[in-house]
Every structure is written in structure tokens, then in C-alpha cells.
Structure 1
Amino acid sequence: METLANLEAFVRSAECGSFSEAARRLSLTPAAVSRNVAMLERNLGVRLFHRSTRKLTLTEAGEGFRQAIAGNLEGLQAAIASVSADGGEPAGTLKVSLAPTFGVSHVLPLLPGFLARYPLIRPEWHFENRQVDLIAEGYDAAIGGGFALSSGIVARTLAPAHIIAVASPSYMRGRVPPSDPEGLQAFDGIVMRSLQTGRIRHWAMRDVGGSEVVARQRESIIVNDANAMREAALLGLGITLVAVPDVRPDLDRGDLVRLLPCWYADAGAISLYFASRTHLPAKTRAFVDWVSEAFKVGRLAERFAGSLG
């Protein structure tokens, strides 16, 4: 009977087209992955990969074998994780993707308490401005917004992603605040150019009465990162539109002030994403429950709601 290690090495190598990348995801050496695949080929008596110096490609037999075991392998992994969880504490590497500013400000502070409760879990947290492929890239969970819910992925909403107008007290000193979103054009605007579309993002803001107005800012400063917009606002360079969680600490300290308190833009939701396995690994379940409870106890959904003024 084949070992799970051999089967995992084969499936990940097929997904990545590389022993080196498969090794990274499995926390092994490339030599170990190559050896496991070679052992599997020897035991089966067939060649599973065409090997070249540039890329691995599946043979016809390899593709058929991959299709036959891929789903079953996930079931085996889940079953092993479930049995392991029943026998002891959640353990292992917990690979999570987080939006940088949000993750550092609101999720990283939860880590000391989490590790005190689950000392056998080893965090591997990636702070990145991109939507990862949880399954293909080997992530246990991700926190952010706007992820495509592909097959096998579920989302648990943590808080709204509301966009508000902010500026520093020094910038607003001597200036009359705008009374509606159209009034933003009279001020220096700190705006963001999308890396995906190459366009400047203009938000449609709404008030509690349901009115909606496009907030067209003067393009005084253009950046491509939300945290850079926040920093520019802190430097007193103008007004910017950013997500409430990214500036909540600054607002609480008085380093930034909110303008147009009755207006906000809705950018969707901040969610916790994870694979919808029947037997979720204990380490992932512990993380999902810990973060969800922390947001509930801290009433962060309410604190991040721009609609509440």
C-alpha cells in the first residue's frame, strides 16, 4: 500500500509542475519530493511524469492516476487531521493570508492569546495585497475582502468594509469641511490607481437616507497602496477615502478626523475564508473560532461600520 507522503508528493508536484514548488508547500526538500514520486512510480510500475530541466508534465497514465486519487487524497488528509484532533491539541503549521494593514492592526494582536491557548500551532502568516488561491497555494485560511468563492471555499463574514473620508486635523485647520461628497473636489485629494485596471478609483458614497453621490476627488496625489493613502493623510497632504478598519486607531487617537460623517461607501465585507472540508483540521477550526469570537466580543463589526457615523 502506498504511503500518504508518496501520494501527497505526486499530487502537489502535478499541481505545481515542479518538485521545488511542491517541496515548498509540503515543507520538504525537493530531493525528498522527487524521491517519494520515484518510489510511487516504481511501486506502480508506470512513469507518471515527463521530466525536463524546465517543467514537469504528466504522462497519460499520470493524468489518469491524478484524477482518480485527487479527491480521495483530500478525504484521507481530512480524516487523519480529524483523528489527530480527537487525540490531542490542535497542532501544526497554520498558513494564513492577510491584508497587510488590516492584518497587522486587528488580527496580529490576537496572536499572543491564541498561542497561549494552542501552543502546538506554528503560525506562518503572509501579509499581502492579493487574493490567494487557498487550495492550490496551500493556505489554511485567508482574511480580506472580495475573494472569489471557488468550489470548496466558504466565507464567514467578520465585519463590513465601509469606506469613509478622512484627513488630518492640521490639513483641515482653517478650512471649512465639505458638506457632501461633491464638495471633496475643492480639496487636495489622495487617490489610488488600481494595479488591475490602471484606473483611479472613485467611490459612490451613500447616506443613511439612501441618497447616493459619486465622490470625485481632485487627483492631487496618486498612489497604488491603501496604506500609502493613510500615511499621506497623516502627513497633512489632503483628504483620502479609505476603509474604516485601516484608520480606526488613527481616528481613536485623533491623528485623523472623519469628514462627511453621514456618508460612506460600501466595499462589501471583510471575511474569513477557509476550505469547506467535512473534517476541518483542528488547527484551522481553532483559528476560525478564535478570530470570530474576538470580533464578536470586541464588537468590531460595529466599530468598522461607516454607516453608523
Structure 2
Amino acid sequence: METLNSIECFVRTAEAGSFSEAARRLGLTSAAVGKNVAKLEAQVGVRLFHRSTRRLALTEAGQQFLGEVRGGLGAIQSAVANLASIDGEPSGTLRVSMGTTFGLAYIVPLLQEFLQRYPRITPDWHFDNRPVDLIAENFDAAIGGGIDIPQGVVARELGPAHRVLLASPDYLARYGPFDVPADLEGCDGILVRSPQTGRVRPWTLRNRDGEQAPIALRQRMTMSDPEAVCRIAEMGMGVALAGMPHALPFLESGRLMRVLPGWHVDTGMLALYFPAQRLLPAKTRAFVDFIVARFREQDFGRRFSAVSV
């Protein structure tokens, strides 16, 4: 098992390009990762990395070794995890990434029931509004909307990833009505910037008839979190564009209303995704099946749809 830990430290360091980043992904100290890699080099009698004060690079032997062990590492770790669950009870640390507001609103409330059912699983949940690389960052699963699913990853759909325009009842009374997208021209826009680029994407609206139109809002302000844009819109400061999971509590309480309710932005699907493995760890399978079942029970697929609301 010690050798397996050393191999994992080597693989994650090669992927991350540094001991410190590998340590962050593994939940270890940088010194511990470096020590494990040094142990592995001592065991095989070959230097795997060229080290300098500024950079870390694989040696030729390191590149060859990485190609040989990288594919099998996940399978071995899954087998070990399932061996620990041989009595039928999933166990182990479960690393999951999800958006901050989404996770707090929809996943955290399920935690108590999940742990009552699977007490030997230890959640290690990361709340971050960005897509993650499951393999490189060593996550068991992640939840996100409008994400291009890479090769080697499987996705289970939780609902549509629709975005809608929102405003407070007071704002609509003062500046409405808005009947077509062009009516929004000059209105103050409260928009979310991309966590990857830091910019606001030029989203396109569409309606049930398949017609498309640009969003004609004046970019008055940008925020990094969808909860923030909803709260600012609630204050009557403009028209916000937000995903349906974030908009839903505001719409159901009447604090916000749909602007141009016949129009929405379609970015694909909201999904729970995880590495494609023949032997999926029991802890991951338990989490995936539990979340999918709870979302179906609460009818989130329909409630997250901009077309059915």
C-alpha cells in the first residue's frame, strides 16, 4: 500500500507539474508528496523527475513510467476501495466538486440522510464555481451545468441547464412590459462572468418556436456568483441572467419574476459526472445513485426547466 501511495504521488505530481499543486489535490503536504516520490525513485533505482529551483520535469524514464502506470492506477484504487467495502457497505473518502450556491441549496441538505445510509463514507466536498478535471484533480465525482463532458468521463443527467432573465416585481412595474428581446435594449444587466475567462459570454435567447435573439441588456455590472446576481435583481437594480437552479427559490417565493418568460438560454444539461471505470468504487456508485434518485423524487428535472415554468 505504501508503494501505491508513492505511485499516486508520482502520477499527480506529473499531472500537476509541481509538488505543491499535487499536494493540494491529494490533501497532503508538499513535503510528504516529495518524500513519497523520492521513496519511489529509490525503490526503482531511477530518477523520475528533473528538479530545479524553477521547474519540475519528467525524465525520459519518468515519461515512460507515467504512460505505463497512469491507466491502471484508477483501477487499482477502485479495487482497493471495493475490497474495503467487501462486506457490502461502501466506505472511504468521497471527493466531490460542486458549485457553491448549488451545493448549499440542493446537495448539503441531503448529507444527513446520505450519511445515515452510508456511515462509513467520509465526505470531502469542494464548493467552487468552476469545472474541474476529475482525473487530474483526483475527484470521485462533480456536479455542474453546461459542461462539455471529456473522454473517459460518464455523466448522469439531473435536469436541463437553462438560464432565464429575472427582475423584481417593482422593476417590472416601473420599466415593463417587455414583450420581445429587443425591448430589453438599454436596461441595466446584472450578469455572471465566466469562472474560466472572467468575461461575460454572449448568450443567445431562444423560444419554443426555435427563434433566437441576442440578449440586448446593457452590461451594468458583473458578479462571480449567481446567487449574487439574483439578490441584486431582488433589490430592483436591473435584469439578471441566472441558471434555473439559482433562480428557482426566488421565483417560487415571488421575490423575482421571469422577464420574457417565453424565452430562455439553453446550455445543455445539469449533470453529475464521474470517471468511466469498469470497476467504479462502491462509495462513488452509492453517491451517484442516491443523488439521482433524490433529484427524481423532488422533480427537479421539471422544476429546473425554463420551458415548464
Kept in 2: contact 1:162–1:304 (CA 8 A) = yes
Q: Distance in 1 between matches of 2:77 and 2:193?
A: 42
Residue 151 of structure 1 corresponds to: 151
Kept in 2: contact 1:163–1:264 (CA 8 A) = yes
1:111 Cα shift?
1.3
SS of aligned partner of 1:306: coil
Cα 1:65–1:190 change in 2 (3 A) is: closer
SS of aligned partner of 1:277: coil
Q: Distance in 2 between matches of 1:69 and 1:56?
A: 19
Scaled by the length of structure 1, the TM-score of the pair is 0.89
Residue 11 of structure 1 corresponds to: 11
Kept in 1: contact 2:146–2:161 (CA 8 A) = no
SS of aligned partner of 2:139: coil
Cα 1:149–1:195 change in 2 (3 A) is: closer
Residue 215 of structure 1 corresponds to: 215
Residue 180 of structure 2 corresponds to: 180
SS of aligned partner of 1:284: helix
Q: Which moved more, 1:299-308 or 1:198-207?
A: 198-207
Q: Which moved more, 1:238-247 or 1:286-295?
A: 238-247
Q: Distance in 1 between matches of 2:200 and 2:28?
A: 43
1:196 Cα shift?
5.2
Residue 249 of structure 2 corresponds to: 249
1:56 Cα shift?
3.0
Q: Distance in 1 between matches of 2:244 and 2:30?
A: 44
2:92 corresponds to which letter in structure 1? G
Deviations 1:255-281 (A, max 9, x none): 111232222221211111100011111
Residue 41 of structure 2 corresponds to: 41
Deviations 1:149-194 (A, max 9, x none): 2231111111111122211122223444212222222643323455
Residue 111 of structure 2 corresponds to: 111
1:289 corresponds to which letter in structure 2? D
Scaled by the length of structure 2, the TM-score of the pair is 0.89
How many matched pairs?
309
Structure 2 residue 85 is the aligned partner of structure 1 residue 85:
yes
Kept in 1: contact 2:17–2:56 (CA 8 A) = yes
Q: Distance in 1 between matches of 2:203 and 2:49?
A: 50
Residue 26 of structure 1 corresponds to: 26
Kept in 1: contact 2:130–2:195 (CA 8 A) = no
Q: Distance in 2 between matches of 1:218 and 1:20?
A: 42
State the Cα RMSD in Å.
Answer: 2.4
Q: Distance in 1 between matches of 2:149 and 2:258?
A: 33
2:301 corresponds to which letter in structure 1? A
Q: Distance in 1 between matches of 2:18 and 2:165?
A: 46
Identity %: 50
1:293 Cα shift?
0.5
Kept in 1: contact 2:264–2:306 (CA 8 A) = yes
Residue 96 of structure 1 corresponds to: 96
Cα 1:37–1:210 change in 2 (3 A) is: closer
Kept in 2: contact 1:162–1:243 (CA 8 A) = yes
Deviations 1:8-39 (A, max 9, x none): 23222322333343333333444443333333
